[in-house]
Amino acid sequence: MNADRPCQGCKLLSLVVTLDLQVLGQRHKDIKNGLSAPPKPTIPNLLNLALKPEWVWKMSRTQRRTFGNIVGHAKGVDDLSSLSSWTAEQFDPSLNWNDIEWIKNRWGGKLVLKGILDPEDARLAKETGADAIVVSNHGGRQLDGAPSAISMLPSIMQAVGTDGPEVWLDSGIRSGQDVLRAIALGAKGTMIGRAFLYGWVLTEKKASPESCRLSAMNWISRSGSADKQISIK
């Protein structure tokens, strides 16, 4: 949020602020498997690649993958190595509710707070003027022992009341039944995340946003819940 308000005039209607990523979680599987960006060759990884020659051949012929919305656009980020350093600098452990209120005032549009998992935080989000909150445990990737989003939804719905912000659910949505459960417990809608990517892949990555949405809805509507309550992020 620079003083010149770079987002003004971009026709952006809403801003989503992630609250549960002030510090990158210790992802044990990533550490165990040596996952890093850029990838570092290890003996287990090299052995794994040696057992999959067809996959290696096909990957060698594809376009080089990168974060196209960041590399070459963010200052000082020209490759995956500099991307890692830049990403680490984006975490702000000092983020607090005063900052959220400041963002709300500077932004001027709809503000969505993602990562609410406690009724007290939901009440504070309401007092701050959030237009919507997303009940989420970050897919369980931030803290292994965090409660599931769906288990916290009823108490959060009670905390915000009928005059509070819209409440959406994220994390753990894998079928239409999951969407129905969330809506039955009071959520306005859900974020389906990877279902959108499934639709995109199934249409050979050439589909329009609407056809991707239809593919995602087809995937998730096994229990008849594919309606306007489904939000594609």
Q: d(Cα 56, Cα 78) in Å, to the nearest integer?
A: 25
Q: d(Cα 119, Cα 122) in Å, to the nearest integer?
A: 5
Residues 179/229, Cβ–Cβ less than 8 Å: yes
Identify whether 138 is a catalytic site residue.
Answer: yes
DSSP 164-208: S-EEEE-S---SHHHHHHHHHTT-SEEE-THHHHHHHHHTTT---
User: What one-letter code names the amino acid at 150?
Assistant: I
Residue 67 neighbours by CB under 8 Å, 6+ apart? 80, 83
Task: Point out the catalytic residue in the list 104, 114, 138, 213.
Answer: 138
In the numeric block, which tokens belong to residue 11?
């026709």
Q: d(Cα 82, Cα 71) in Å, to the nearest integer?
A: 9
Positions annotated as catalytic residues are 138
